[in-house]
Structure 1
Amino acid sequence: MSAHHLPQLTGRLPIPAQTRTPSAPLLDAFNTAPTEEAHRTLLACLHSLRWARRVADHRPYPTPEALLAASDEAAYDLTAADLAEALAAESLPALPADTYEAAHLALDAAHAAYEARFGHAFVICLDGIPRHEVLDHVLEGIRSRLTNDPEEERVVTADELRRLARQRLGHFLRGAGL
Structure 2
Amino acid sequence: MAAHRPYPDLGALLAACDEAAYDLTPADVHEALALESAAGPAPDAPPAARTALAAAHAAYESRFGHAFVICLDGHRPDEYLDQVLAGIRRRLAHEPDEERSVAADELRALARSRVVRALASAPGKGRPGRPV
TM-score grouping bracket, smaller chain normalisation: 0.7 to 0.9
Alignment partner, residue 19 of structure 1:
none
Equivalent of residue 111 in structure 1, options 57, 61, 65: 57
Alignment partner, residue 34 of structure 2:
88
TM-score (normalizing by structure 2)? 0.88
Question: SS state of the match for residue 102, structure 2?
Answer: helix
Distance in 2 of aligned mates of 1:64 and 1:156: 25
Question: SS state of the match for residue 6, structure 2?
Answer: coil
Distance in 1 of aligned mates of 2:14 and 2:85: 28
Equivalent of residue 13 in structure 2, options 59, 67, 73: 67
Alignment partner, residue 136 of structure 1:
82
Distance in 1 of aligned mates of 2:49 and 2:29: 29
Distance in 2 of aligned mates of 1:76 and 1:101: 39
Q: Is 1:169 the counterpart of 2:118 in the alignment? A: no
Distance in 2 of aligned mates of 1:65 and 1:141: 28
Equivalent of residue 94 in structure 2, options 148, 151, 162: 148
TM-score (normalizing by structure 1)? 0.66
Q: Residues 104 and 120 (structure 1 numbering): CA distance in 2 closer, same or farther, change over 3 Å?
A: same
Distance in 1 of aligned mates of 2:120 and 2:84: 25
Unaligned runs of 5+ in 2: 123-132
Deviations 1:53-99 (Å, cap 9, x if unpaired)? xx112212010111111001111111111111111111123422211
Percent identity between the two aligned chains: 63
Q: Residues 174 and 94 (structure 1 numbering): CA distance in 2 closer, same or farther, change over 3 Å?
A: farther
One-letter amino acid of the structure 2 residue matched with residue 152 of structure 1: E
Unaligned runs of 5+ in 1: 1-54
Shift of 1:141: 0.2
